[in-house]
Amino acid sequence: MFLDYVKIFIKAGDGGNGAVSFHREKFVPDGGPDGGDGGDGGSVIFTCDKGINTLIDFKFKKHFFAQNGEGGAPKNCKGKTGEDLIIKVPQGTVIKDSATGKVIADLLDDGESVTVLKGGRGGKGNSHFKNSKRKAPSFSQHGEKTEQHQIILELKTIADVGLVGFPNVGKSTLLSVLTSAKPKIANYHFTTLTPNLGVARVFDEDFVIADIPGLIKGASEGAGLGHHFLRHIERVRLIVHLVDISGSENRDPLEDFRQINEELGKYGTRIKDIPQIVCASKIDMLEDESKLKDFEKAIGQKVYPTCSLLNEGLTELLSAIYEKLKTIPKPSRLEDEERYSLEKDYNQKFTVSKLDRGTYIVEGGLVDFFIQSISLSSPESFAFFQKNLKDRGVVSALKKAGMVEGDTVIIGDIEFEWID
């Protein structure tokens, strides 16, 4: 079964907590702190595998979690790092954030990998917090907690050439004679429901041709299976636009040609700008040859007449495709335009806002990390947190905003009364 679009949930492993421990040894009455650091959580990594050609493995399993890091131990022993989660996907898989629709990664090459979510950092053990005034710290740092994210996996076929046209114009038959592909062929609409790929060879050079399932009017707006089909055209370098020149189903070839191009243009500029070669199929059924000349004149470009069943016009068509491809560069990755990250930005920035009289809220990557790492049950840990707020300029910013003793300060999920 072919599947080219799924939504799944991923989560990196949490960092392990740092340990609170003190050195115990015979004849050493005042052993210092020796709590080890927590291990980092495992990351979520996507890797490209040419042996996979569908996203069917994600149809029934929707949740993917990396392993958590283990907590630190006495004697400065660091916790075990969580195992990374490796998720294999087909070549041509685009990874998007479900909430924004923005591209996170675009995997094209076999063996290519990308870390979509990094594991949480392990917390520091109490041995890190010893100083001249705090000789026996009874607190440690919590490991970083990670969040679950929903992402989209979208498979876009990797091919040099895409065959497009209305249903039953002969795309699958053409693919079968130009390449060694064996697509399903029958005389009814939507025989092809998934893209078929084949390799054509011209002058000892190979290029991949994709048979894109038939498009219909309204495909760009989702009519039929429009969106599912159109996404596979985005990567091709050249479109071969097939038109049934014989009008065997009482259709107007010129109107069909214009409608398909209209749908391609509506879907996006990336497809609209792809060069085209026009192929007139089923010429063996054409009763009036002037129709071919009239059609060519109406569209204003050269048309290549073919009959796949009789192998007519195929050499000329292949040569035209080969020569055109030599002039077209390979398309850029989707993420080259804009790459989105799911990672939290633990930078040094923060903002102070006054909600109402006597209430202030502090937000930003800096305080988010601090608030995760403290232990509210430990007065020492909370005092260390307050010192960090002062050293990093948060307290000064609060006072500048008008905070006075007795006012309420909200940071993350913690709300407390400020006392100088």
pLDDT tens for each residue of 113-141: 999 999 999 999 998 888 887 888 888 88
Asked whether residue 407 falls in the same domain as residue 302, the answer is no
The pLDDT value given to residue 61: 93
Q: If you average pLDDT over residues 374-390, what whole number do you get? A: 79
The pLDDT value given to residue 226: 42
Residue 344 within any structural domain of the chain: no
The pLDDT value given to residue 23: 85
- The residue whose two tokens read 């010129």 is 254
Side-chain-side CA neighbours of 351 within 13 Å: the count stands at 5
Distance, in Å, from the CA atom of 411 to the CA atom of 414, rounded to the nearest integer, reads 5
Q: How many domains does the chain have?
A: 3
Return the SS3 of 199: strand
Most confident of 43-47, 158-162, 349-353: 43-47
Q: Which domain holds residue 393?
A: 351-417
pLDDT tens digits along 240-262: 999 998 887 788 889 989 988 88
Residue 343 within any structural domain of the chain: no
Share of the chain above pLDDT 70, in %: 87
- Local structure of residue 41 (DSSP, 8 states): P
pLDDT tens digits along 191-233: 444 667 777 888 778 888 888 775 655 434 444 444 566 777 7
Most confident of 25-34, 85-94, 245-254: 85-94
Residues 6 or more apart in contact with residue 55 via CB below 8 angstroms? 3, 4, 5, 6, 89, 90, 93, 153, 155
Burial (0-12, 13-18, 19+ Cβ within 10 Å), 13: buried
Domain end, chosen from 126, 155, 184, is at 155
Residue 129 within any structural domain of the chain: yes
Q: Is the dihedral of CA 183, 188, 194, 196 positive or negative?
A: positive
Distances (CA, A) of 224 to 47, 166, 215, 221: 32, 12, 8, 9
Lowest mean pLDDT among 233-247, 281-295, 382-396: 382-396
Please list the residues that pair with 206 across neighbouring strands: 201
Q: Identify which has the larger pLDDT, 168 or 2.
A: 168
Q: If you average pLDDT over residues 306-315, what whole number do you get? A: 88
Q: Identify which has the larger pLDDT, 118 or 185.
A: 118
Residue 342 within any structural domain of the chain: no
Asked whether residue 4 falls in the same domain as residue 106, the answer is yes
Distances (CA, A) of 22 to 25, 34, 96, 133, 282: 10, 5, 47, 17, 85
- The residue whose two tokens read 């995997």 is 107
For residue 286, what is the domain's CATH number? Answer: 3.40.50.300
Q: If you average pLDDT over residues 156-185, what whole number do you get? A: 77
Q: If you average pLDDT over residues 159-188, what whole number do you get? A: 73
Q: Identify which has the larger pLDDT, 355 or 82.
A: 82
Asked whether residue 176 falls in the same domain as residue 279, the answer is yes
For residue 401, what is the domain's CATH number? Answer: 3.30.300.350
The pLDDT value given to residue 214: 56
Asked whether residue 290 falls in the same domain as residue 321, the answer is yes
Distance, in Å, from the CA atom of 351 to the CA atom of 15, rounded to the nearest integer, reads 26
**Residue 348's pLDDT band (boundaries 50, 70, 90)?**
low
Supply the mean pLDDT for the chain. 83
Please list the residues that pair with 38 across neighbouring strands: none
51 contacts 33 by C-beta, under 8 angstroms:
no
Please list the residues that pair with 73 across neighbouring strands: 77
